[in-house]
Amino acid sequence: TSGFVSIVGRPNVGKSTLLNRVVGQKIAIMSDKAQTTRNKIQGIYTTDDSQIVFIDTPGIHKPKHRLGDFMVESALSSLRGVDTILFMVSAVEKRGPGDNFIIDKLKEQKTPVFLLINKIDEIHPDKLLEIIDDYRTEMDFEQIIPISATQGNNVDTLLSEILKYL
């Protein structure tokens, strides 16, 4: 089996960190600065009998000018034709306009969307339940998976869930 997965989320939630972890190779650029990753970067996770091609999708945010419109369109185009979309949010930051803009775009897609709540290494489990409840009221997610991209928590679970949709 093989298939495609897009990772979307506002800047700094940990998309590149996850991508680098699963492909076991430094492909995407990691940075504390917002929007270092400007292009769609693909990484491939392979096992004996399957492969998942990951697309790091920067730039889905409310555009401030027309060039921005084009960049958002380009980012949205990488959502078409994938098997699952991973929408990553940060457990340490409140849901904001940036997250809500992406959620509105994701609601227009037919592709299954997984909500990845990243950076769970930074928060108390009670807080995680609140975050899950909060996002659930906004959209029906196919799966909700709390992870830590830096520590690796639940990344195996994520990969095996993705494989079910290929």
Residues flagged as binding site for GTP: 9-16, 56-60, 118-121
User: Residue with structure tokens 């897609």?
Assistant: 109
Min dist. Cβ of residue 157 to ligand GDP (A): 14
**Interface with Mg ion by CB under 5 A: which range of 14-22, 115-123, 148-156, 158-166?**
14-22
> Per the structure block, which two tokens stand in for 127?
């807080």
Residue 85's closest CA among 42, 132, 34, 141?
141
Say how far apart CA 96 and CA 86 lie, in whole Å: 18
16 binds Mg ion (CB under 5 A): yes
Residue nearest to ligand GDP (CB): 14
With respect to ligand GDP, which residue has the nearer C-beta, 93 or 161?
93
6 binds Mg ion (CB under 5 A): no
For 94: left if phi > 0, alpha if psi spans -120 to 50, otherwise beta; the answer is beta
User: Residue with structure tokens 């990243």?
Assistant: 118
74 binds, among Mg ion, ligand GDP, none (CB under 5 to 8 A by kind): none
Q: In the complex, which residues of this chain contact Mg ion (CB under 5 A)?
A: 15-16, 37
